[in-house]
Amino acid sequence: MRIKPLLFLILLLAFSPSMSNAQRKSKSMSKKSENTQLMTRPKLVVGIVVDQMRYDYLTRFWGHYGDGGFKRLVNEGFNCKNNHFNYAPTSTGPGHASVYTGTTPATHGIIGNDWYDKASGTEVYCASDSTYLSVGTASDAGKMSPHRLNVSTVTDELRLHTEMRSKTIAVALKDRGAILPGGHTANAAYWFSGEDEGQWVSSTYYMNTLPKWVDDFNASGVIKSYKKPWTTLKDIASYVESGPDNNPYEGLFETETTPTFPHDTPNMVNKNLDFEILKYTPYGNSLTTDFALKALEAERLGDDGITDFLAISFSSTDYVGHKFGVNSKEIQDTYLHLDKDLERLLNALDKKVGKDAYTVFLTADHGAIDVPGYLKAQKIPAGYMNWDVIKAEFGEFLQFTYGTTDIVKNFSNYQFFLDHKIIKNLDLKVGEVQKVLARELLNYKGIDRVYTGEQMLQNNYTSGIPYILQNGYHQKRSGDILVVLQPGTITYPETGSTHGSPQIYDTHVPLLFYGTGIRKGSTVERTEIPDIAPTIASLLGIAFPNGSTGTPILKVLEK
């Protein structure tokens, strides 16, 4: 008897349901396993923060970079092209803290490099701590700790996740550039004491004596080898991406009459006891790379199956930017040198850890404005704020309105701190005084916007300048009145560049991911600095830092 094809198919399905279900279940589980990866375990994570790096330094100098540094990270990694700081002030301390905590000053509490402490009535530094002693120096350069950082970092969470078996080492010329990324649990943080010493130092917060390898490095002569004239890496005539070498917008080294190459002033070459100048040359970054590579070897980072963390901050880019400006031949040459140092670092990681066994991210702690004098010469609105004039005029207003100027206790980081006791004694309300002073300040030339502390407390801003200010506003530490200068306007000498504002030239910075667990590609969707730590935490399968407000960047991570 011949069975029709349709009837045969029905009978087959009826008598073999378990086979069909099993196949479907197997296929479903297979698909799930393809799309789900619980964690990625690189042997080493390397976090790189380039101090004062604007995003357009990637694109402006692209044609001069080699294949092994910035280009390798971009071409073989993931490039977040529209990455921003979502708070102000945009400065070094808050920047490093935000990268590693996954949140903003409103939560982590590092509201500036320095700020007015309302409890003590004094200025405090973000990393200073007199309860600890210096290690490796007789000066106060090592009296530091992360105690003002209110939350954990991704480096802390990695240490906690591994029962402290992972190792975290942090390195930077600036103390805050090492201490804040290292978090509360770092095995060690090292920074450079220039002045008359030229030594890598630390704090008793981490150790009682320097390890032998650090002493050996300090004594090796490597540091002194960088006391040499600064000459350009390439023919300066090829540096068409930056302005003329001799121009009125750049600062001078000692004894110089023009800000031109080569830079070979006496304190750069002849003075044996002046190492501070190294910070203002690309050699400071090369020295940082040398020391980081020694730490990689001596601390045996990435040697086993437990993920370690190496945090590196390149600080010389900031010193050079402040002195010469973002359009200078000096800043271009500094980034070409840094590109070579990155290549050295990546090659060493390939050899020591394994090419497919480490993960890197690179970002910046803030951007920078072009020199306003140069912008004005190009007919772009820009200028300088004369606070001395405003201080006098504002003082007269305070005296006339309230009978005293003491109602203002401090002005720092573009915030006014008021004396609440005096306000109470005058039978006034703090909120009303804030409003009156804010309206007055709006009348002054160069000021674009003013917000009050009560506005920061009562409103929930979701975009624009007030959103950025609110993310930087810490309820216990920040001031009563927040001032925003007009775009292109700064309070700074007329040579060199600066930063700190909520404007886009200070917020737009690179964000590159590379290596184990990272997709190749790019995005122009907006990402924000607090997204970095959750992204790395998600990759590693560890807890987010306990104050995180950022979210993982899904496009960066492999399935």
Which amino acids are annotated catalytic? 92
C-alpha–C-alpha distance, residues 388 and 372, integer Å: 19
Q: What are phi and psi of 211, to 5 degrees?
A: -60, 155
Other beta carbons within 10 Å of 238: 11
Residue type at 340?
Answer: K
Query: To which H or E segment does residue 349 belong?
Result: helix 329-352
Query: Which residue in the block uniquely carries the two structure tokens 């920040």?
Result: 478
Other beta carbons within 10 Å of 479: 27
CA-nearest of 231, 238, 226, 230 to 65 is 238
> What one-character-per-residue DSSP string does 437-463 give?
HHHHHTTSTTEEEEEEHHHHHH----S
Alpha-carbon torsion angle 241, 245, 250, 254, nearest 10: 140
C-alpha–C-alpha distance, residues 503 and 486, integer Å: 9
The distance of Cα 464 from the centroid of its chain, to the nearest Å, equals 21
Beta-bridge partner residues of 116: 123
C-alpha–C-alpha distance, residues 472 and 90, integer Å: 9
Question: Residues 273, 196: contact at Cβ < 8 Å?
Answer: yes
Question: Residues 365, 96: contact at Cβ < 8 Å?
Answer: yes
Question: Residues 187, 308: contact at Cβ < 8 Å?
Answer: no
Helix residue spans in 479-544 (DSSP H)? 504-507, 532-540
Query: Which residue in the block uniquely carries the two structure tokens 């006496």?
Result: 266
CA-nearest of 398, 426, 428, 427 to 411 is 398
From residue 363, alpha-carbon distances to 72, 89, 262, 366 in Å are 15, 17, 30, 9
Task: Identify the sign of the CA torsion 475, 479, 485, 490.
Answer: negative
The distance of Cα 83 from the centroid of its chain, to the nearest Å, equals 12
Query: Which residues, in sequence order, are CB contacts of 167 under 8 Å at separation 6+?
Result: 187, 299, 301, 308, 309
The tokens for 455 are 């506005």
Please tell me what DSSP assigns to residue 208.
Answer: S
Q: What are phi and psi of 514, to 5 degrees?
A: -155, 145
